[in-house]
Each structure stands twice: as structure tokens, then as C-alpha cells.
Amino acid sequence: MNVLVINCGSSSLKYQLINSDSEEVLAKGLCERIGIDGSAIVHQPAGGEKVKSEIDMPNHTKAVQLVIEKLTDPQVGVITSLEEIDAVGHRIVHGGERFAGSVVLDDEVLAVIEQCNDLAPLHNPANLIGINSCREILPDVPMVGVFDTAFHQTMPKKAYLYGLPLSYYEKYKVRRYGFHGTSHRFVSEEAAKMLDRPYDQTKTITCHLGNGGSLCAVRNGKSIDTTMGFTPMEGLVMGTRAGDVDAAAITFLMEKEGLTPQEMDTILNKKSGVLGISGVSSDFRDIEEASEHGNDRAEMALEVFAYKVAKRIGAYASAMNGVDCIVFTAGLGENSGSTRRLICDYLGYLGVHIDSYNNSLRGKAMEISAPDSRVRVLVIPTNEELVIARDTKELLDK
Ligand code: ADP
């Protein structure tokens, strides 16, 4: 089955065409600056070069149309007609409390997803626009939605309730939801396979460290806690997001600086994190380089980041009454041996020992813990698109 996987943002649309039987990626690409001047599509067939075409894309429907054109193009295409797209799998950010797993998308389900827009005003409306555009262009092709929040719906109340008046949860559903669920699920399953252990009898802490970052405690195949909360702002210090801050510091700053809620939100989401601390960049590569050249603020940013991750690992080891395995994934987790080292240096009390040579390697799933390490430590490249293709196939095969 050929599954077109779509990840739609407000001005971008990423796609992959995956053969869900062989799990081969046939082609992938990105439409950028949709609805903005200078829009372009970058398309790459498997084994081929990236091809960039600057084409006006006033809306997402036009973007989907272009994706289909590229996929069926005689030169750079990988299929001969639209008929070879058997299904579409969509990434959806927020499924609220309604979706604990992936679903086949129909009018009824879409109406429920729309009700979750309030919880993710920046993301869900864009996801829905992507879905509606695909339905317009591929009206007879079945579609599935895969939610970032779904994997964390197994969190118990004690993990997802804030210490706020309960009425706010009851009235507005203000609670912790967690994100990156597709990635945490994928790497925790892969980890169990790599260790040759039953997934439902393994305690894993997954560290998804990219521009945005979150940790997840996966006990016996179920998320029991994660660092992101009501929004992807909570938890770790991230590229540009502040992560946990005393809520009173926020109201204090708003008063001192006369900031509106929107202005404060922009500071917390776009100007904070390792960018805010280092003053260098939100990109960890730039910060690592600056730190190596003696920039104290860059060094401090890396230390704050690693310390926070290490503290949460300790917290989750205690929440699960032990840990068998720690997994690093996403841009930073997969590529930065020095960050993994900084974090793991705190974990000697758990019996974590890192093999320096393996920790210096890149680009594949591997174990980086030494043979005498009591907790196994793995690096596993995440693959959210593959999960979306697998879920789509599984649901439609039923
Ligand atoms: P997202 O999907 O959240 O946008 P990614 O998972 O692509 O992010 O991760 C991006 C982050 O990974 C960037 O901050 C980048 O600095 C970091 N990164 C990627 N490669 C490396 C590397 N070789 N060394 C250090 N950091 C890296």
C-alpha cells in the first residue's frame, strides 16, 4: 500500500510517499512559504537529487496539487498516476482527551478534531486545512489521523493534573497532555526490539531532543509521564522555549515590563531556551561551537540544558521504580555525543556507563552504553512518518 504521509503547518507542508509493505520511502519533500511571497516546493525521489521549484502557492490546496504533480512527474516522479496513492496519513498535533490512538478520518471525527483547536490554536487548524485540501484533491482516498498527544493518554491523573483549582480542568480541560508521542512510542518500541525484551515488560526513558524537546517515562509499553504539558512549552529548556518557569515569575515580568499576554507568549516560545541564555543561537551546533571557543553564556546554556534532562531522568527512574533503558533521539539526541555525555555523567548512581567510542558514532541505531552498564543506553533515529504510514495501513487493513 502506498501511503502519502502529510505533516501540515500553517505555512508549510512536509510529505513522504511510503510503501507501507516494504516500508520504503519512495519520495519526500516540502512545500514552504505557503500563502507567502516566495513559495517553493522541494521534492526528492528516493536515490535522486533534491529539486527545488519556485511556484506560487496561495493556499494548501495548491500545495497538495503540486505534491501530486511532482509525485507523478515523468522526470522526478515515482508513480504514474494518482490512483497509485492508496491512502493518506496525517500528523495531527492535538487530539485532546478524545483520541488515545490513530483514527480513520471522516466528517464526524473531523468535527471532534475541530473541537480540539482551542487547545492547539497554532497547529490544529493548519492540520485540518491540510486534511481538507487532501480531501478536495483525493476525494476517494481513505485518510487516517495520527496524534502527537495520543500515546500519552495512558498517563494517570496524578501525572496529568496541575495543582490548580480542579474546576479549570473540568471547565477548560487545562491539564498536561504531552507531545512528541509518535516519536516516544516509536523509539521505545524499537528499543525493546534492539534489547530483545518484551515491550510490555520494559521500563524505558525516551529523550526526544530536537529544537523542541521532551522526555517520556514508558512503563511496560505505556506512557506514564512526560515533560511537556498543556502545551509544548512545559518541561525542558529547548531551542527557543523556556520550559518550566515559576508561573509567578511570568506575571512579575509582565507587570515590570508592561507586556501583553501575546508578547509574553512570544518571549516564552521564541526568545527563551538556549537561545535566550546563550544569546548565540537556538541551534545546538552553533552553541556547541561557541562554547568550544570559550563563550561562557553558550557553555552555561548547554549546562542548564543537560542538567534539566538529567534531573528528569532521575525523576522518571523513580516514577517507574527503576529503568532498564534510556533512549536518545531527534536532531540533538541522535547527533550530539557531547550532549549525551554531559547528561549521562549525572547518571553514575543508576549504574550508567557510556562507551566513548560508540558514543562518538553517528547515523544509525546503536547501543552507547558499556557492557558493564546497569542501564542500557541507546541512540535510535526517530521516524514519525513511518509510524504514520504503519498506523494508516493497519487501520485500513482492518
Ligand atoms: P525539530 O524537528 O524539533 O525541529 P530536530 O529533531 O531536527 O528538530 O533537531 C534540530 C536540533 O538538532 C537543532 O538544534 C540542531 O542544532 C541539533 N543538531 C542536529 N545535528 C546536530 C549535531 N551534529 N550536533 C549537535 N546538534 C545537532
Whether the CB-CB separation of 197 and 218 falls below 8 Å is answered with no
Rounded CA separation 394/398 (Å): 7
Ligand 1 surroundings by CB, under 6 angstroms: 210-212, 239, 283-285, 288, 330-332, 335-336
**In the prediction, which pLDDT does 122 show?**
81
- Which residue's alpha carbon is nearest to atom 12 within ligand 1? 331
- Is 56 considered catalytic here? no
**In the prediction, which pLDDT does 390 show?**
98
What amino acid is encoded at 165 in this protein?
Answer: P
Q: How far away, in angstroms, is 237 Cα from ligand 1 center? A: 14
- Beta-bridged to residue 3, according to DSSP, are 18, 87
Write phi, then psi, for 215 (nearest 5 degrees): -110, 155
| Residue closest to 39 by CA, chosen among 28, 30, 48 | 30
- Which residue's alpha carbon is nearest to atom 19 within ligand 1? 331
**In the prediction, which pLDDT does 205 show?**
98
- Closest atom, ligand 1, to C-alpha of 339: 25
Weakly modelled stretches of the chain, pLDDT under 50 = none
Q: How far away, in angstroms, is 334 Cα from ligand 1 center? A: 8
> What's the predicted TM-score (pTM) here?
0.95
Probe target for ligand 1 pocket from 206, 211, 384, with the most ligand atoms within 8 Å of CB: 211
To which residue does cell 554531559 refer? Answer: 342
**In the prediction, which pLDDT does 114 show?**
93
Rounded CA separation 313/315 (Å): 5
Q: Which entry of 37, 73, 106, 148 is annotated as an active-site residue?
A: 148
Q: How far away, in angstroms, is 284 Cα from ligand 1 center? A: 7
- Closest atom, ligand 1, to C-alpha of 362: 23
**In the prediction, which pLDDT does 279 show?**
97
**In the prediction, which pLDDT does 72 show?**
96
Q: How far away, in angstroms, is 281 Cα from ligand 1 center? A: 12
**In the prediction, which pLDDT does 214 show?**
98
